[in-house]
Amino acid sequence: MTLTAHAAMGAVIGEAVGNPLLGFIIAIAVHFLVDIIPHGDSFISDNYRVLKRRRKQAVAYVTTDAACAILFVLFIVNVRDVTLIRSISMGIIGSILPDLLVGLYDVTKFRYLRWIYRLHFVFHDAIIKRRGDVPLRYSLAAQAILILILQARL
């Protein structure tokens, strides 16, 4: 799932909960749960991690996604009248933290992050390793619609 979709979910969770710590914890849990849904990026991940090829494609995908997530967050805090900024911020942080830690493990192979890497892929691969992934373009379209719906909720 894109960081932008995770950030949108985290923002809504943070606002709905209204408590920064609780929003952070719930957003982490929701991150793992929504990663179970096939979301079209398994070939990018496999190319990067398993086959060690097309790494520029993976880096470009992640960089573009991160830039979109940053723009989304800036949009939320600059266009909306946000009253629960701490709760929303902590929800966003909790929702993207698992992916950031997996990325950090990918780059550093820091052994203390291996557990989060493994846990992440237990959820991420739960369905796609048995049933296959969906085409990326359909997933991105669905996530764009989800982001629009969620941002309207804020």
> By residue range, what is the domain housing residue 33?
3-149
In a domain, 154, yes or no: no
In a domain, 97, yes or no: yes
Give residue 108's region: left, alpha or beta (phi > 0; psi -120 to 50). alpha
Nearest CA among 8, 31, 10 for reference residue 150: 8
DSSP state of 36: T
pLDDT of residue 51: 62
Find all residues with CB under 8 Å of 93, minimum gap 6, and list them: 10, 24, 27
Write out pLDDT tens, residues 80-136. 777 789 999 999 999 999 999 999 998 899 999 999 999 999 999 999 888 988 998
Q: What are the structure tokens assigned to 140, written together? A: 């991105």
Instruction: Indicate the pTM of the whole model.
Output: 0.88
Residue 53 to residue 119: CA distance in whole angstroms:
24
In a domain, 79, yes or no: yes
In a domain, 69, yes or no: yes
Q: How many domains does the chain have?
A: 1
Write out pLDDT tens, residues 47-88. 677 666 677 888 888 899 999 999 988 888 887 777 789 999
